[in-house]
Amino acid sequence: MTNAMTGVAAIAAGPLVEMTGVGVFRSGRWLVQGIDLEIRPGEIITLIGPNGSGKTTTAKTAIGIVRPDAGTVARSDDLVVGYVPQKLSVDRSLPMTVSRMMTLTTKASGVDIASALERVGMAHLRKAQVHDLSGGEFQRALLARAMLRRPNLLVLDEPVQGVDFSGEIALYELISELRESEGCAVLLISHDLHVVMAKTDRVVCLNGHVCCAGSPNSVAASPAYRQLFGARAAEALAVYRHQHDHTHLPDGRIAYPENSGHGHDDGHDHAGCGHDHGEPHAHAGETGASPGNKAAHDHA
């Protein structure tokens, strides 16, 4: 069921979602405007931006929860969305076991449900009521639920909210594993630059409009980005920069060498645990060669 080739085959196909000049107008103001965003099969896109910059609105518009007031959103016919929303609380009056929640929008066999829960380490809690789960367990359950649909686009809106520090890392590891084995595209909304950026193909930085977009490298270099997030955020990206050439791997997969990257950035070396950064990629040279990075590390 998992196939590394999925990503490759899919990349040849057209985009899953293509947003052109999208604007959303609510209560007398534009929440977002002029958004151009293309989500291609198998890629990881991270939406970043300050509070109220329209990250969630953009993601919701992309998958059809919000109707745009300007521009167009074209979605591929075979688009299957798995959605993990930013906030979800199940009313206590609604009895719901973990395994029942798995089939909220799709039918699934007991075997599939069990294996989906197994993959996120929740098999032992399948009969628990969702109200009794911890924040991290609940997020895992939601992730398993979204993956059970076999989506080709997984949308995660700040998926580590309410999850403690170590749980956060584990959750990102899990997302990364799932996406590697399933080959689905991921649209990730996050403000957590350090952890997320290391795994992303493309960053779209929002502030009511697309203020800059492109490979993490180019976003990191963008003055607009630095202006928006300030020096400290720029450091995080700069740290990140020197190790991100992986977007160009021919098989569409990404090796995540963030351990080496974050190793420089003291206090954030948690991010890279357990990943396959053994592959000696070309940027080893870049690491040493980039004066920009050095400067950033000094700040950190």
Partner 1 sequence: MLDDFFIRALLAGIGIAIVAGPLGCFVVWRRMAYFGDTMAHSALLGIAMSLALQWSLLVSVFLISALVSMVLVLLQRRGGLSTDSLLGILSHSTLAIGLVALAFMPWVRVDLLGYLFGDILAVTRADLATIWIGAVAVGGVLVFLWRPLLAGTVNAEIAAAEGQSPERARIAFMLVLAFVIAIAMKIVGILLITALLIIPAATARRFATSPEVMALLAGLFGALASTGGLYLSLGTDTPSGPSIVVVALGFFLLALLPLPDLSRRVAVSPAKGETS
Cβ pair 148, 113 in contact under 8 A? yes
Distance between CA atoms of residues 266 and 271, nearest Å: 11
Q: How far is the CB of 212 from partner 1 (least distance, A)?
A: 27
Q: How far is the CB of 181 from partner 1 (least distance, A)?
A: 14
Considering only residues 19-38, where is the footprint of partner 1 by CB under 8 A? 27
Residue in 262, 255, 254 with CA at minimum distance from that of residue 238: 262
Cβ pair 178, 143 in contact under 8 A? yes
Q: How far is the CB of 235 from partner 1 (least distance, A)?
A: 31
Q: Angle CA(182)–CA(74)–CA(246) in degrees, nearest 5? A: 40
Residue 95, interface with partner 1 (CB under 8 A)? Answer: yes
Structure token pair of residue 274: 């357990």
Considering only residues 193-252, where is the footprint of partner 1 by CB under 8 A? none
Q: How far is the CB of 215 from partner 1 (least distance, A)?
A: 27
- Comparing CB distances to partner 1, the nearer of 132 and 251 is 132
Residue 65, interface with partner 1 (CB under 8 A)? Answer: yes
- Comparing CB distances to partner 1, the nearer of 91 and 298 is 91
**By rule CB under 8 A, what string of x and - marks binding of each residue 117-136 to partner 1?**
-x--x-xxxxxxx--x----
Residue 111, interface with partner 1 (CB under 8 A)? Answer: no
First to last CA, the chain: 43
Distance between CA atoms of residues 176 and 183, nearest Å: 10
Q: How far is the CB of 43 from partner 1 (least distance, A)?
A: 19
Among 4, 5, 104, 295, binds partner 1 (CB under 8 A): 104
Residue 102 has phi, psi (to 5 degrees) of -60, -30
- Comparing CB distances to partner 1, the nearer of 56 and 217 is 56
Q: How far is the CB of 290 from partner 1 (least distance, A)?
A: 36
Three-state DSSP at 10 gives helix
If you search the block for the tokens 């899953």, which residue do you land on?
16
Residue 100, interface with partner 1 (CB under 8 A)? Answer: yes
Q: How far is the CB of 173 from partner 1 (least distance, A)?
A: 9
Residue 164, interface with partner 1 (CB under 8 A)? Answer: no
Q: What is the DSSP string of 78-95?
A: T--EEEE-S-----TTS-
Distance between CA atoms of residues 42 and 252, nearest Å: 7
Residue 90, interface with partner 1 (CB under 8 A)? Answer: yes
CA dihedral 293, 294, 296, 299 (to 10 degrees): 170
Q: Which residues bind partner 1 (CB under 8 A)?
A: 27, 60, 63-65, 81-83, 85, 88, 90-91, 93-97, 100-101, 104-106, 118, 121, 123-129, 132, 149, 155, 170
